[in-house]
Structure 1
Amino acid sequence: MFRRIRETAPAGLVPLAWAFAVAAHLGAVGDRPVLIAHLVMDALLVLFVVLSWTDMRTGVLRAWRTVILVGIPVTLAGTAGLLAPGLGTTPLLVSVVGWMLLPAPALWYTARASAGTARPVNRAAAALSLVGAAVYLAGVFVGGPTDPLLALAVPGLALVGVGQTAGIVDAVVRY
């Protein structure tokens, strides 16, 4: 049962994380719930990579193991930024943009290694992650890191969320 949870939970957690990020940017979620979410993500990422280490030794799964490994300090940066507001917005920006960009190469690699409908789904997912990150960063550039222009930041987050959700749901259904 626990293996099945590890194999399917990301299909729910990925869209939940991006929806939560949108809600936080819109001010619908305060700093404390965002901190709690980061602490939960920190723990889940470490737990997932430890429990799945041997299952993710080769091929596409190895690429995803690398994403998770690099994602741990990226998520910890966001946690640090929330725990120590004196650090400024850089750690939070690193966390958000890091997770926008990190999966893109693994999604592209998954597309190259896949056949059938998995190929275009993962290519589109990678492209949406990159385009979403660019749109989000345009909002940061226009509005500044402490107050990104929401008219760009929110659609950027949404594009990433849709792309990465499509990629993970495809993986859960296919494998």
Structure 2
Amino acid sequence: MLDRTREYAPVGLVPLAWGFTAAAHLGYVGSHALFVAHVVIVGLLVAFGAVSWTEMDAGALRAWRGVIVAGVGVTLLGVASFRVPAVPGGVLRAATVVGWMLLPVRALAVTARRTPAPGLARVYLGAAMASVAGGAVTVVGLAAPLSAASGWLVLAGIGAVGVGQTASIAAAAWESSRPDSFSPGSGEHAI
């Protein structure tokens, strides 16, 4: 049961997180809900990392372990952003969002390189490219807050990253559910 939860929960959590981020950007989510979400994400990351630490010791999984560790730090910046004045708080929240856009890029590229299935490798590489492009568009939108298009740029960046990262986690779950699945930790097919 725990293995299946670890395998499939991210397939729902990744689009949920980016959808929540888009809703917050549009003003549909209040600051208390955002604070609670950040705290919950830190808890989930710590729990997932603790349960999966030894399994994520080699190959692409080692890169993903790095994403989890760095993700705890980036998300803690988001938690702190609600406990400081508005100006640095907004910068910390923006850094958290952009951080999560870019954190998985290296791990996605490593996974693409180690995946023997060309179609899945393209999904992972596409997700890495969507993360970089979405992060860049978001930064442009955040850097030009007086522009009429800035809010739409941020939303477009969030959308691109959300679609790319959701596709990658769905591909990973699909691949790991197959009996002859690739094991990203070893670089070989599992038997």
RMSD: 1.5
Distance 1:168 1:88 in 2: 30
Partner of 2:136: 134
Q: TM-score, normalised by structure 1?
A: 0.95
Map 1:91-110 to 2 at 5 A. 91-110=92-111
* Structure 1 segments (4+ residues) deviating >2 Å: 83-88
The DSSP-based 3-state class of the residue aligned with 1:88 is helix
**8 Å Cα contact 1:14-1:165 kept in structure 2:** yes
**8 Å Cα contact 1:22-1:157 kept in structure 2:** yes
**8 Å Cα contact 2:83-2:89 kept in structure 1:** no
Partner of 1:13: 13
Unaligned runs of 5+ in 1: none
Unaligned runs of 5+ in 2: 177-191
Partner of 2:2: 2
Task: Give the fraction of aligned pairs with identical amino acids, expressed as a percent.
Answer: 46
Larger Rg: 2
Q: Does 1:114 align with 2:115?
A: yes
Q: In structure 2, do the counterparts of structure 1 residues 10 and 49 end up closer, same or farther at CA, with 3 Å as the change threshold?
A: same
Which string of whole-angstrom CA distances, capped at 9 and with x for unpartnered residues, describes residues 98-123 of structure 1? 00000011101110011221110001
More helix by share: 1
Task: Give the deviation of 1:51 after TM superposition.
Answer: 0.6
Distance 2:106 2:167 in 1: 15
Total equivalences in the alignment: 173
Which string of whole-angstrom CA distances, capped at 9 and with x for unpartnered residues, describes residues 118-175 of structure 1? 110001000000000011011011117xx99211000000000000001111001101
The DSSP-based 3-state class of the residue aligned with 1:143 is coil
Partner of 2:56: 56
Partner AA of 2:111 in structure 1: T
